[in-house]
Amino acid sequence: MNFDLTNDQKMLQEEVRKFAQTELAPLAPEIDKSGEFPWSNIKKMAHMGLLGVIVPEQYGGSGFDFVSLAIAVEEISRACASTGVIVAVNNSLAAYPILQFGSEDQKMRYLPPLCNGEKIGAFGLTEPDAGSDVAAMESTARLEGDCYVLNGTKRFITNAGEAGTFVVFAYTNKELKHKGISAFIVERDTPGFSLGKHEDLMGIRATANCELIFEDVKIPKENLLSKEGEGFKICMNTLDVSRIDIGAQAVGIAQAALDEAIKYSKERKAFGQPICNFEMIQSMIAEMASKIQAARLLVHYAGYCKDKGMQRFSKESAMSKYYASDIAVDVARKAVQIHGGYGYSRDYAVERLYRDAKILELYEGTSEVQKIVIARELTR
């Protein structure tokens, strides 16, 4: 693997960093408080091509690779964690499965609006009683004439409150267990499809996280992704990809926390000198920086495995997600510690970063699930 970024990746990093720090960062504390979905910034990101980073140009995207997506998500999350999640979900949980498993018609129809910001995407997998254990889902889709009739409830769905296009999973044949799960593209305005409760989250508060309720929702047959029974495969493959971007979010949040900690440690004085002169503070900063660098390399490496067309990269993507989220929480905690009492105050960014980081260890497979994936790959 070449650790050096390519020319276009370096330019992307520089430009996205500038954009995110100028346009997104100032809004981050505000939308954290209000929980308002940042539509104006989403339009700006659509204009830059950040909503379809990995979508080829013929479908309205920017045609970059997965390492580049990770770089973009890191920079966006560094400025605003909520916006980082929104972009990551749109790219890797909504656009990616359609791109990878959709028919030409589906790609032509659904990808351009996801890339140009006309519609935001969401991924309906988790249910009230089925999280990491996907096969425990209860949603069903039965074929009636030209339509599938969808019934069920999905919970903790990022972007859901504002999304227009959903990739939704349901059983077409419960007896076949996970081989009976299928994936569908569902549009927001389909009759019978309503939103349930809006989640009041600890962090990433501006992500329109909502419940989806399907009551006899008729979905045209042509909205089936791939074939019946392929849902589990689609879901697993998609999660392998999107976990890389959870890793990238984690690196971004951790980097933001380190940036804040460094700045504060140089300004804050104690016993007559800046606290960055104290070895205990230096020790924390060195640990934070080393772990962030290690996490970043794991994330890029997982993206690189995907870009090189490696058949199996579940282990690498699980490692990047598990490790980066683990250290992000640790780094954010240390950043609060370096700020002392001020770190506990909403006036300082680290308070928000600490809250934003926690979800990383939970969604798209908890750390425990990631570890099972990693251990299985090693002891097969």
Partner 1 sequence: MILTKEHRKFRQKVKDFADQEVAPRAREMDRSGKFPEDLVKRIAELQLAGIYVPKEYGGSGLDMLHYAIAVEEIGRVCGSTGIFLAAHSSLGVFPIYLAGNEIQKKKWLVPLAKGEKIGAFGLTEPEAGSDAAGTKTTARSDGGMYVLNGTKRFITSGRVADVVIVTATQDPTKGYGGISAFVVEKGTPGFTYGKDEEKLGLHGSITSELIFEDCAIPMDSLLGTEGDGFRIFMETLDGGRISIGALALGIGQGALDASVRFSKENTVSGKPLSKSQSIQSMIAEMATEIEAARLLVYHAAELKDAGLPYVKESAMAKYYASTIGMKAANMAIDIHGLCGITDAYPVERFIRDEKLMEIGEGTSEIQKIVIARQILGK
Partner 2 sequence: MDLIVCIKRVPQTAEAEVKIDSSGKDIVRDRLTFDMNEADSYALEAAILLKEKFGGTITALSLGTADAEDTLRIALAKGADSAIRIRAEEFVELDGFKTAALLKEVIKDIKFDAIFTGCMATDDSYYQVGPVLAELLRVGHATLVSKVEVADGKAQVNRELEGGLIEHLEMSLPAVFAVQTGINEPRYASLIAIRRAAGKEIRVVGKEDISLELKSNSTLEELFLPPVGKRAEILSGSTDEISAKAATIIKEKGLI
In the complex with partner 2, which residue's Cβ is closer, 53 or 285? 53
**Cβ(195)–Cβ(160) below 8 Å:** yes
Count CA within 13 A, CB hemisphere, residue 62.
22
Among the listed residues 23, 199, 230, 364, the single catalytic one is 364
Cα torsion at 94, 99, 104, 109 (round to 10°)? Answer: 30
Among residues 84 and 231, whose Cβ is nearest to partner 2?
Answer: 84
Candidate segments 72-80, 112-120, 146-154, 317-325, binder of partner 1 by CB under 8 A: 317-325
Which of 22, 34, 290, 345 is the binder for partner 1 (CB under 8 A)?
290
- Select 43 or 308, whichever has its Cβ closest to partner 1: 308
Contact 195, 150 (CB under 8 A): no
**If contact means CB under 5 to 8 A according to the sort of partner, which of partner 1, partner 2, none does residue 57 touch?**
partner 2
Nearer of residues 183 and 292 to partner 1, judged by Cβ: 292
Own/partner long-range contacts of 259-268 (Cβ < 8 Å, ≥24 apart): 259/78, 260/335, 260/339, 260/348, 260/349, 260/350, 260/353, 261/285, 261/288, 261/334, 261/335, 261/338, 261/339, 261/350, 264/338, 264/339, 264/342, 264/348, 265/338, 268/339, 268/340
Sign of the C-alpha dihedral, residues 271, 274, 279, 284? positive
Chain Cα centroid distance, residue 102: 21
Nearest C-alpha neighbor of 76 from the set 15, 121, 122? 15
Residue 334 interacts with partner 1 (CB under 8 A): yes or no: no
Report if residue 262 touches partner 1, rule: CB under 8 A. yes
Within a 10 A sphere around the Cβ of 261, how many other Cβ atoms? Answer: 27
CB of 294 to partner 1, least distance (A): 4
Residue 60 contact partner, candidates partner 1, partner 2, none, CB within 5 to 8 A by sort of partner = none
The answer for residues whose C-beta is within 8 angstroms of residue 75's C-beta and 6 or more apart is 13, 16, 17, 20, 252
Shortest spacing between CB 169 and partner 2, in angstroms:
30
Looking at residue 275, the DSSP 8-state letter turns out to be G
Q: Considering only the stretches 62-70, 198-206, 207-215, 303-311, report the one whose residues sit in contact with partner 1 under the rule CB under 8 A.
A: 303-311
Q: What span, in angstroms and rounded, lies between the C-alpha atoms of 118 and 111?
A: 10
The two structure tokens encoding residue 146: 């030209």
Q: Which residue has the tokens 């001020």?
A: 342
Query: 14 touches which of partner 2, partner 1, none (CB within 5 to 8 A by kind)?
Result: partner 2
364 labelled catalytic? yes
Cβ proximity to partner 2: between 24 and 183 the closer is: 24
Instruction: Please report whether residue 335 would count as binding partner 1 according to CB under 8 A.
Output: no
**With binding defined as CB under 8 A, does residue 283 bind partner 1?**
yes
In the list 110, 323, 348, 354, the residue contacting partner 1 (rule: CB under 8 A) is 323
Which of 13, 367 has the CB closer to partner 2? 13
Interface ranges with partner 1 (CB under 8 A)? 1-4, 262, 265-266, 276, 279, 281-283, 285-287, 289-291, 293-295, 297-298, 301, 304-305, 308, 310, 315-316, 318-319, 322-323, 368, 370-376, 378-379
Residues annotated as catalytic (active site), given as ranges: 364
